[in-house]
Amino acid sequence: MRDPIPLRTIWIVISWYSSNIGVLLLNKYLLSSYGFKYPVFLTMCHMLACSLFSYAVIAWFKVVPMQSIGSRKQFVKITGLSLVFSFSVVLGNVSLRYLPVSFNQAIGATTPFFTAIFAYLMSKKRETWITYVTLIPVVAGVIIASGAEPSFNLFGFVMCVSATAARAFKSVLQSILLSSEEEKLNSMNLLMYMAPIAVAILLPATLLMEGNVLEITVALAREDINIVYYLLFNSCLAYLVNLTNFLVTKHTSALTLQVLGNAKGAVAVVVSILIFKNPVSLIGMLGYSLTVLGVVLYSESKQRIKQDSFTELICKLET
């Protein structure tokens, strides 16, 4: 018999799902339904919360050992990652103003496609032909969903695709820049260093692009104090997404994480449709399902390659 799943692991997964879907839906509500049209400022609030909570969790609660930046070169690399990371989050928030969450998630599921492209362009890393074949339904599904999306918006679509590509670029860039053992940082320490740098990047961007946001926020708070609670809760959720993602990775296997991640997108789509009641078409849902199927096949092919490589290594050691 298999050992029962620990209750702590179940609660971590539930928290991961809740925080991911919660911050996504609250972002959509603030930027679209509520009318708080300041995605750069919202992203800066997220990064500020991540800065404060990251330090507290590592320095005070000792969730992970604190790692230090070893050189100016490593700091420059982290700064570059922070710039790309901030760019991707801002674009993602901008897209939520114009696209329903369901369609946003469908486009976001194409991350493996962009990851494969950037991995080849930046490090000449080639995947197996089977892995590339699995990316066909990933892209085809989004094309089908785009053509059948009742709430399609070209600007929002471009922003969402750009955000997805930027996330993939950041992932590949991170694996290249911080590849040496002395420069590797776990995700919690990396966030602790990236977040304040992101705030420093986003502050002038906010002043330049959304110069009157503080005055408007104060004016809104006088009329409706809930905006303050929304922003505080939203920012806390943004950090909880990163914390629970790390804990899920720590307490489950890589394969379990992939399966849970694929299912999370589908759950977010269903929940968003139930809450915001955005119109969806049958063809659009079929397109999204095709994309999810492609992502599942992609994850399976990558996992199988890792297992084959591990088996081959064991055989070599035994001989």
pLDDT, tens only, 242-281: 999 888 888 876 666 767 777 788 888 888 888 888 888 8
For the chain, the first-to-last Cα distance in angstroms comes to 33
C-alpha closest to that of 151 among 47, 277, 61: 277
Does a structural domain hold residue 66? yes
Does a structural domain hold residue 1? no
Does a structural domain hold residue 2? no
Instruction: Judge whether 244 and 12 are in contact, CB under 8 Å.
Output: yes
pLDDT band at residue 177 using 50, 70 and 90 as cut-offs: confident
Domain of residue 93 covers 7-318
* 28 φ/ψ angles, rounded to the nearest 5 degrees: -60, -45
User: What pLDDT, in 10s, does the model give residues 208-238?
Assistant: 999 899 999 999 999 999 999 999 999 999 9
- pLDDT(104) > 90: yes
Residue 310: both structure tokens together: 């591990």
Cα–Cα distance, 61 to 41 (Å, whole number): 29
10-14, 188-192, 228-232, 311-315: range with lowest mean pLDDT:
311-315
Q: Please give the distance of CA 300 from its chain centroid, rounded to a whole number.
A: 20
Instruction: Judge whether 113 and 138 are in contact, CB under 8 Å.
Output: yes
Does a structural domain hold residue 280? yes
Q: What is the structure's pLDDT at 6?
A: 79
Cα–Cα distance, 151 to 278 (Å, whole number): 8
- Report the pLDDT averaged over residues 40-66: 95
Pick left, alpha or beta for residue 124 (phi over 0 → left; psi -120 to 50 → alpha; otherwise beta). Answer: left
How many domains in the chain? 1
- Report the pLDDT averaged over residues 38-49: 97
Does a structural domain hold residue 173? yes
Q: What is the structure's pLDDT at 99?
A: 94
Cα–Cα distance, 107 to 166 (Å, whole number): 13
1-15, 19-33, 157-171, 200-214: range with lowest mean pLDDT:
1-15
Does a structural domain hold residue 74? yes
Instruction: Judge whether 186 and 179 are in contact, CB under 8 Å.
Output: no
Q: What is the structure's pLDDT at 310?
A: 46
